[in-house]
Chains A and B, each alone.
Chain A
Amino acid sequence: SAVISQKPSRDICQRGTSLTIQCQVDSQVTMMFWYRQQPGQSLTLIATANQGSEATYESGFVIDKFPISRPNLTFSTLTVSNMSPEDSSIYLCSVSRGGGNEQFFGPGTRLTVL
């Protein structure tokens, strides 16, 4: 498995501002993923983050709104830009190792946009 931490654990933000969420893993991992879980909904994949390359975004998500960094094999950030109340969600980071299909999840960041 992997030990994954996220910062912040929760935040309340004003409309129009941006928030950067950090994901730290205790060991090197191949793939990192960012998900959104809106209230009462399932998990929706935002993007896949590979170290040293551009993130791959899913349909409906764009880099300008959700820029992602992956500077090394243990760390990634997701920024939620120009926030609106519709961005209020839990944002989750997950990782997989060595070509495996199992993913390990972080504790999530609960974002509320006023």
Chain B
Amino acid sequence: AQRVTQPEKLLSVFKGAPVELKCNYSYSGSPELFWYVQYSRQRLQLLLRHISRESIKGFTADLNKGETSFHLKKPFAQEEDSAMYYCALPVYSGAGSYQLTFGKGTKLSVIP
């Protein structure tokens, strides 16, 4: 069965420090992974997906199939990055539908 693991419930870093939010997955197929973010009092929104290979708000994430990881990184944290981050794995469930399996989430707190 598929599984997404985010080992850190809370991560605190100082402003300007590098950030790495860890995500490991277990999936028998060829994975496509997402990072979702939820800022305070806002809805859950897609931050980035590995297939697009983009940098969004300075964040990047590389899929490492050997280590089954999809860690989210940013070289210099900003206060506005404080939020809840969820790693998610879409799994095909039939009839053209995909379900998302979410990790437990990591709360990032950037200290001024």
Chain A residues at the B interface, C-beta cutoff of 8 Å: 30-31, 33, 41-43, 45, 48, 50, 56, 92, 94, 96, 99-108
Contacts and interface: CB of A to CB of B under 8 A. Distances in A.
Given A42-B86, A108-B43, A102 B99 contact: no
Nearest to B92: A101
B98 A96 contact: yes
A95 to B, nearest CB: 11
Given A42-B102, A43-B86, A105-B44, A99 B93 contact: no
A45 to B, nearest CB: 6
Interface of B: 32, 34, 43-46, 49, 86, 90, 92-93, 95-100, 102-105
B45 A100 contact: no
Nearest to B84: A42
A67 B103 CA distance: 26
Nearest to B100: A103
B100 A42 contact: no
A95 B72 CA distance: 24
Given A31-B97, A48-B93, A102 B49 contact: yes
